[in-house]
Structure 1
């Protein structure tokens, strides 16, 4: 049996945080595969040298000028698989590879702006369209029963205890019913397991994001679980056999100097 540790992390600028933030995390945790979102650079600007110094020799980058962008850095060879047309705006928000026999999808779902009304907010309409396209795609893929992992910043906290206040956030983008119900429906039609909630009871608070507006994120603890790792049924035993020890939300990373507002999440698969 071999192990494969996958990390997902919205780093909010990979060039800014590669050496001061990501490198110390890698030294401590040593994930085999790093799935990054919101890298904010073009392909040729990705700091590959810094990641090679961390021990990663294989890269798959879907960058773009300005915002957005996703990247995977791996200790193992990556097979480039075709990307899907999830984003109607042509933004770099998805990539698909195969590593150690596992099909891996890395997503950066649109945040959706502030107003949860697609009629007056095109950014929210874009988010819902992206989610609908994901749902159709994974519904069609479900019958294959392929060993698949999907990770990333989904920008949706689906359950009551995935946010600091279910009642107060019902009309706030990331926790509105149209988003949460849509994400749960996607998981169900794709037959995915939400690893966090398979291992941690739904009445236990879990967060991966805390706003920059909070001076002391620990004291206020107004978080949301926006970052996810899901597995297909073919990987259920690989993901769950070690229990909670195999899954970690690295909350302390939010308290570092100049951190991302998201923290890394890791899962160790026992293949």
Structure 2
């Protein structure tokens, strides 16, 4: 069976509900993981999203910031949430699929890693210190993605562009939060020690430049194309051979009132 999984930092699910519906109608992924829903649980647009053909939804949110959700065509039997750094920040949610043929038992982790502010110094910037602590806790968790473990997918806005060609200018962004050496090393250590395969780079290796985020500050984001690959899909090693495609739906960045992130979708052959 083919399984398509999308991840998208939507930057307010209520503000951009029309964009989410349009993406679901046009792309029809089996599973959509959202980050930065910025929505308390009692305000989440559950019925509107279920009406798009996704009856199985789990979400965790808070007013004004953070928030994660998973929409699925397939039922899931288990859900769990991790609180990182001693904070109930609505940055993680997990489901285990059931009744999905070859995908039954597959675990999907959805993460929203802290952005880290503007100053890449943990002594001067508490937000950056929090980001590094969050990533260190993730490294300790690891995800149990070893070859003999349960098949798993980790997706989300990880807020790090780890490789040279994941940013528009490696040299100019070395001291910019999201591409500093301390962040890129931390993310790669997390990925490698956890046994995760970077789905995008598994089939589209460097030096191809790939971006999923373009700043709102750019007056003409498309022409400038000064992007970063902040949104990721990782696979446990026992799924690495199933990857068939990974694409960024770049055109969503040009929709009316867009998120600054574009969806990333992986298609697996299970």
Change (3 A) 1:153 1:123: same
Give how far 1:90 is off: 2.1
Cross-structure match for 2:57: 59
Cross-structure match for 2:185: 181
Give how far 1:204 is off: 0.8
**Maintained 8 Å contact 1:34/1:73:** yes
Tell whether 2:232 aligns with 1:234: no
Cross-structure match for 1:248: 247
Tell whether 2:219 aligns with 1:210: no
1:43-89: per-residue Cα shift (whole Å, max 9, x none)? 11110121122111011101112200000111111223332232433
Cross-structure match for 1:147: 151
Q: 2 CA distance for matches of 1:140 and 1:105?
A: 11
Q: 2 CA distance for matches of 1:14 and 1:85?
A: 22
Q: Secondary structure at the match of 2:247?
A: strand
| Unpaired stretches in structure 2, ≥5 consecutive residues | 98-103
Q: Secondary structure at the match of 1:188?
A: helix
Q: 1 CA distance for matches of 2:14 and 2:197?
A: 33
Q: 2 CA distance for matches of 1:179 and 1:234?
A: 27
After TM superposition, the structure 1 = structure 2 runs for residues 13-92 of structure 1, keeping only pairs within 5 Å, are: 13-19=12-18, 21-92=19-90
Q: Secondary structure at the match of 2:62?
A: coil
Cross-structure match for 2:142: 138
RMSD: 1.3
More helix by share: 1
Q: Secondary structure at the match of 2:127?
A: helix
Cross-structure match for 2:101: none
Q: Secondary structure at the match of 1:14?
A: coil
Q: 2 CA distance for matches of 1:143 and 1:86?
A: 25
After TM superposition, the structure 1 = structure 2 runs for residues 117-132 of structure 1, keeping only pairs within 5 Å, are: 117-132=121-136
Count of matched residue pairs: 264
Give how far 1:4 is off: 1.3
Q: Secondary structure at the match of 1:181?
A: helix
Q: 2 CA distance for matches of 1:185 and 1:42?
A: 33
Q: Normalization by structure 2: what TM-score?
A: 0.94
Q: Normalization by structure 1: what TM-score?
A: 0.94
